[in-house]
Amino acid sequence: MIFLLALAGFLVCSFSLRAEEESSKEPYRLAAQQFIDKARPLYGQDIHYGLKSAETLITEAATPENLEQVFLVLNYYYALEDKEKMRAYADQLAALAQKLDRPDMTRLVEIYRSYTLALDGDYSAAIRELEAQLKTALEIRDHLAAVMLYDALALLEPFQGEFYIALQYAEKATRLLRHVPYEKRLRLHLYNTLTYVYTELEDLDKTLEFANLALDMVKETGLYMDISTVVYNVGLALQSEKSYVLADRYLEELLIFYKESGQAEQNIYPYYGLALNAYEQKKYPLSLSYVERALLFADTSEDFAVSLRQLGAELYALTGQVDKARDYRSRVEAFFSANPSYQNSQWANLNLRMDAEIAYAEGRYKDAYRIFAQYNEKALAQAEKSFSNDVYKLRAGLEATMRIEKAEQGILLERGELKIQQMMFLVGAFLVVLVVVLGALVVQRRTVVALEKSQREAEDANQSKTEFLANMSHELRTPLNAIIGFSEMMTGKVYGPLGHENYDEYADMINSSGHHLLNIISDILDMSKVENGALALHELECDLVEFVQAAIRVFADQARDRDIALQLDAPDNLPLLSADLRILNQILYNALSNALKFNRQGGRIEISLMQKPDTGGMRITVSDTGIGMTEEELVHVMKPFAQVQNSLTRAHEGTGLGLPLMAAFMKLHGGTLDVTSEKDQGTTLIMDFPPSRTL
């Protein structure tokens, strides 16, 4: 009875949801119809036509005009993701940039070269290189390179399942667009990127929004754009809304466009979309026919070809053609063996679903059950990793769950227990769908509420911490200043002798401890202010050489007592530096204090100053021959209040704020602190200020 009630409830929910879905599709249909009507007259602005004229204008001359023309064509091939053409024109652009002394263009060439790694299938390497280039571009304020890097990363992150990171990169690119040349061209490409990302997120509203923005810009500016790809993406977004008729219309129109424009090799893409549409509607023979037609153009795209063979293997298995399914499976396996970087890609898990379908078609129900379970487990793991794509992953998990039950049915059939289990399979499958769908909605809502609550609690706690530290700073500093002042009067014997010689020593200890405690409180308060953005810089010009020499004189007596050599290496005519002198003094004090504290008798400390030739920024380097640290210890001490505990460091007092506070101060100046260390060999601190602070 419970099962029947649950089944009835599920059917009621299904019908109401379906009615709501059908009514909500009407605006989609209207918007989609308006979009295709807007796109059709603009097919003449497709990049395919722009390339025909742009390439003919390129010459061998080393002129600014020719450099701009090569850059334009390279941008076109970047939009089309033609890796061979990209590499060829990148080499040509690099040669021209060198002859014309254009380091800005040289940096752009490296972006294109790194992007081609992703087109080879190595997405992780491409993202690593692009992120490193982005850091450099931001440091030297190369806004053009930064915008292009943000756009490239936004295109690649979805292949790692990081859709919201992709949207963040796109948002950052939008902020910088007004400050760069080629603004309209870059904005147009960014609209294309966002159209693609929202297609992957199955958000038809946003997909249409940015696709329409792209078409409006083409119409307004006359720029060329990869219009066919935008139309393709909208077609796939319609598929996610189950508007299969409209999606088919989009894809069939692309077939006509490719035929008229002489791009028959591009047919792989619309045929692939049509195959997916038919598959979603369980029209397996029709889907297979599209797969076979698409594979006639397999050389156009390895990525799409392997996806088509995965789909083809599954379809052949579903239609009982096991031999053909295994043939497709072997080709897929050969591709993944030859391209190991794809093992963790978004396509890898589909191999399990394909294997499970083949096993089920061959009657190996236990194997099918086991493989479907693996597929379901990986699909759920991917869903947890990328919450932004949870709708797709949930659907995949549900499909896998249903097929697990189907495989179990086959096993029970072999045991002769089908009659009773058949009803339980149907009811259980409906219950699984109901529980998982409702559970996913509940979990999603609870997650949002929990995150909002955690954020509020963290903000309240942070504010309380700031107020507490400010109050405690005042409460502690007032009596400490009194202690320090009175102890100085006692050591100075302002009102005469203290009466006993031990009192002189005690007064010195009280004064020294008071100063030490006051320094600790100041460090903690400074760290708190930096973390909360409450520490403002009071910038002045300074002669860095004189400033460092003054700091060295403070520690000269300590170094002499321990026979430690202090050496300064600075060039003549070093430019002035703009910085907060109090904070700069504290940075140098901490650096030299640590170098002395953890050095050995008879050791050496070298301080070097220089202006970096590549960026023009100022660099301070402090190296010592002290005890050094391992990689694990170095990671540990970069955390606030952390200290490396060994026989030497335990002999010295401290809060563990030295290096973290220096790093925070450098970041406040727009600079960086890099620390390298080797156990028993010494430690080197490298402090780099941005070029904007060089006067």
Structure tokens, 460:
């309240």
pLDDT recorded at residue 67: 93
The helix/strand/coil state of 60 is: coil
Contacts 24+ apart (CB under 8 A), 302-306: 302/121, 302/335, 302/339, 303/121, 303/347, 304/268, 304/269, 304/272, 305/268, 305/335, 306/332, 306/335, 306/336, 306/342, 306/347
Residue with tokens 């005690």: 506
Q: Give the residue, 114 or 451, on which the prediction is more confident.
A: 114
- The answer to whether 122 and 340 have CB atoms below 8 angstroms apart is no
Q: Give the residue, 46 or 474, on which the prediction is more confident.
A: 46
Mean pLDDT is highest, among 500-514, 581-595, 678-692, for 678-692
The helix/strand/coil state of 670 is: coil
Residue 9 region by backbone torsions, left for phi larger than 0, else alpha for psi between -120 and 50, else beta: alpha
Whether 635 has a pLDDT exceeding 80, the answer reads: no
Among the ranges given (186-195, 437-446, 617-626, 685-694), the one the predictor scored with the smallest mean pLDDT: 437-446
Q: Is the dihedral of CA 271, 277, 279, 281 positive or negative?
A: negative
Helices (H), 295-417: 302-318, 322-338, 350-361, 365-385, 390-415
For residue range 512-558, list pLDDT tens digits in order: 677 667 666 666 666 666 665 556 777 888 888 888 888 888 888 88
Paired strand residues for 620: 609, 687
Whether 642 has a pLDDT exceeding 70, the answer reads: no
Paired strand residues for 682: 678
For residue 206, how many other CB atoms are within 10 A of its CB?
17
pLDDT recorded at residue 466: 56
Whether 482 has a pLDDT exceeding 90, the answer reads: no
* pLDDT, the chain, mean: 78
Whether 430 has a pLDDT exceeding 50, the answer reads: yes
- Per-residue pLDDT band for 428 (boundaries 50, 70, 90) equals low
Whether 653 has a pLDDT exceeding 70, the answer reads: no
Whether 646 has a pLDDT exceeding 70, the answer reads: no
Nearest to 266 by CA among 244, 240, 296: 296
pLDDT recorded at residue 559: 87
Using CA atoms, how far apart are residues 397 and 276, in angstroms rounded to an integer? 18
What pTM value is reported for the model? Answer: 0.49
Contacts of residue 694, defined as CB under 8 A and 6 or more positions apart, other chains included, come to 575, 576, 577, 578, 611, 616, 617, 618
Whether 506 has a pLDDT exceeding 80, the answer reads: no
pLDDT recorded at residue 417: 47
Instruction: Specify the DSSP class assigned to residue 639.
Output: S
For residue 637, how many other CB atoms are within 10 A of its CB?
20
Mean pLDDT of 654-677: 80
Percentage of the chain exceeding pLDDT 90: 22
- Per-residue pLDDT band for 286 (boundaries 50, 70, 90) equals very high
pLDDT recorded at residue 645: 46
Q: Give the residue, 450 or 22, on which the prediction is more confident.
A: 450
Mean pLDDT of 266-277: 90
Q: Give the residue, 583 or 345, on which the prediction is more confident.
A: 583
The C-alpha angle 102, 104, 109, rounded to 5 degrees, equals 100
Whether 10 has a pLDDT exceeding 60, the answer reads: no
CA distances from 352 to 260, 314, 372, 386, 440 (A): 39, 10, 7, 20, 24
Mean pLDDT is highest, among 24-28, 303-307, 393-397, 511-515, for 303-307
Nearest to 258 by CA among 287, 237, 231: 231
The helix/strand/coil state of 542 is: strand
Structure tokens, 230:
């935008």
For residue 414, how many other CB atoms are within 10 A of its CB?
11
For residue 468, how many other CB atoms are within 10 A of its CB?
11
CA distances from 370 to 319, 354, 359, 361 (A): 21, 13, 10, 14
pLDDT recorded at residue 199: 86
Q: Distance of alpha carbon 372 from its chain centroid, rounded? A: 31
pLDDT recorded at residue 64: 93
pLDDT recorded at residue 71: 93
For residue range 208-237, list pLDDT tens digits in order: 899 999 999 999 999 998 888 888 888 888
- Per-residue pLDDT band for 407 (boundaries 50, 70, 90) equals very low
Using CA atoms, how far apart are residues 133 and 110, in angstroms rounded to an integer? 8
pLDDT recorded at residue 561: 87
Among the ranges given (121-125, 138-142, 466-470), the one the predictor scored with the smallest mean pLDDT: 466-470
Using CA atoms, how far apart are residues 234 and 3, in angstroms rounded to an integer? 41
Percentage of the chain exceeding pLDDT 70: 74
Whether 462 has a pLDDT exceeding 90, the answer reads: no
Paired strand residues for 651: none
Mean pLDDT of 118-131: 90
pLDDT recorded at residue 597: 85
Q: Give the residue, 645 or 440, on which the prediction is more confident.
A: 440
Q: Give the residue, 27 or 360, on which the prediction is more confident.
A: 360
Whether 468 has a pLDDT exceeding 80, the answer reads: no
The helix/strand/coil state of 493 is: coil
Q: Give the residue, 636 or 256, on which the prediction is more confident.
A: 256
pLDDT recorded at residue 494: 66
The C-alpha angle 237, 391, 357, rounded to 5 degrees, equals 90
Mean pLDDT of 254-267: 87
Using CA atoms, how far apart are residues 254 and 366, in angstroms rounded to an integer? 43
pLDDT recorded at residue 61: 92
- The answer to whether 666 and 672 have CB atoms below 8 angstroms apart is yes
- Per-residue pLDDT band for 2 (boundaries 50, 70, 90) equals very low
- The answer to whether 281 and 244 have CB atoms below 8 angstroms apart is yes
